[in-house]
Amino acid sequence: MSSVGILGGTGPAGQGVAIRLASAGYDVVLGSRDAVRATGVAAELTPRGAGSVSGAANEGAARCDVVIVATPWDSAVATVSALRESLTGKIVISMVNALSREGRELVPLYPPRGSMAAQIAHALPNTMVVGAFHHLPASEMVGLDSGLDADVIIFGDDESARESVARMVESMPGLHAVIAGTMSLASAIEAFTAVCISINIRHKAHSYVKLAGLSH
């Protein structure tokens, strides 16, 4: 089983993905700008399964076999660019959404290359960037008893990297992998997160994406 590092893994999104990955047997390293903070956050997570969650500086997380980017959108490119050497040749998963709050709604922002996944891919030319986990509410991810039964929409230009991420997602409790296609879908998939969060604010809910008509 491979190791997974999460850049910005101390936030709600990183913690939610970490606990489900560890419950699937992965050894997860929560990355942070502050290794002591990451160690403390990791110690609070109690996965059920053979895997583990530990904490480290983002540099340590970037040394894992697969690396997830879970920082705020406006620090994602700077964070990965500083770690370019460690990330070379690896699958890098972006779950980053560029969003802005406007009253009771979230609205999508469009980075120069159309999406955060494309921004990260441009910053890391020698990696295989795959998008996943964008629409999952962290609150439902972190609680292993939340009854989560969500689809995870996956995209990227490298077919084998997409398949590899899909296998990882399928192994995580409560999640099903749905490969959507290439990086050309990234802006639509990321922007749809604004719709999901706005629905949750309006309806005081923690809903998530579950596509009808697919046979898993």
Q: Which residues bind ligand NAP (CB under 6 A)?
A: 8, 10-14, 32-34, 37, 70-73, 75, 79, 95-97, 133-134, 136-138
**Radius of gyration in angstroms for the set of CA atoms belonging to the chain, rounded to a whole number:** 16
**Which is nearer to ligand NAP, 79 or 119 (by Cβ)?**
79
d(CA 37, CA 198): 31
Q: Minimal CB distance to ligand NAP: which residue?
A: 11
Residue 176, strand partner residues: 151
Please report how close the Cβ of residue 198 comes to ligand NAP at its closest, in angstroms.
13
Is 71:36 a contact under the CB 8 Å cutoff?
no
**Which is nearer to ligand NAP, 34 or 65 (by Cβ)?**
34
Both tokens assigned to 207: 């809903």
Distance of CA 157 to the CA centre of its chain: 17
Please report how close the Cβ of residue 3 comes to ligand NAP at its closest, in angstroms.
19
**Which is nearer to ligand NAP, 76 or 166 (by Cβ)?**
76
Please report how close the Cβ of residue 50 comes to ligand NAP at its closest, in angstroms.
25
Is 107:96 a contact under the CB 8 Å cutoff?
no
**Which is nearer to ligand NAP, 72 or 114 (by Cβ)?**
72
Please report how close the Cβ of residue 214 comes to ligand NAP at its closest, in angstroms.
21
Q: Which residues contact 213 (CB under 8 A, 6 or more apart)?
A: none
Residue 105, strand partner residues: 102
